[in-house]
Amino acid sequence: MPSRRPFTRIDVGVQCFGGKILSTLFQRDVEERSNEEIVIEDLEATSNDLENIVLQEISLPGDGCKVQILYTRNAEVSAPVLSQLIEKVGWPKRPAKKLETALLGSYLVSSVVRRELDPSGATTNEQLIGLIRCTSDQVFNATIWDVLVDPEYQGKGIGRFLVIKTVEALKREQIGNICLFADAEAVGFYEQLGFKCDPDGVRGMFWSQ
């Protein structure tokens, strides 16, 4: 599919932070290879502008394979893959064509994936477990529209990580007015990250027919 407008790449690279970021990650039975546990603990350690951050990489015993949890800023995510995550989260289904248009029209899309690597380092399986996207006029304002985390990985800090890294990236672009729409039960989550409801009396307004 055609590429959306590229987000400015300030620095490109990959860094692995190991167990300091994710604790008790991949407590994995060798035969069943399940029961993964993710907890993102140290956000300060990830205070950088790298586009790709390997939050954790674990070597599986016996076969030389590895499993990674990878954050990617300016990620290329297809509409079918995002549709699967939307379904898991329980959001209303979105038409594929409209979803593709929304992705292409986004200013910034970032993702967190779980991927399996064979002994040669080639990816054998990849699962989208978190995503955030925003639109912007590229100068003054940006709006965060979607923050999704696979239910199996919720409560681990992935959503918080995605929001913080997105705000950091927008601020580096000197975009100072960042807003979002939150369900009532999510207001407290965003307030902890610095967002305020109706700051200085400014109210969100919606047109309805």
C-beta separation of 75 from 109 below 8 A: yes
Q: Which of 71, 107, 153, 190 is catalytic?
A: 190
- Please state, as a whole number, how many other Cβ atoms lie within 10 Å of the Cβ of residue 108: 25
C-beta separation of 54 from 117 below 8 A: no
Residue 58 — φ and ψ, nearest 5°? -120, 130
Annotated active-site residue 190? The verdict is: yes
- DSSP bridge pairs for 147: 132
The CA-to-CA distance between both ends of the chain, in Å, stands at 34
Distance CA 142, CA 132 (A): 13
Distance CA 98, CA 132 (A): 17
Structure tokens at 95: 């038409």
* Residue carrying structure tokens 């970021």: 21
Question: Active-site residues: which are they?
Answer: 190
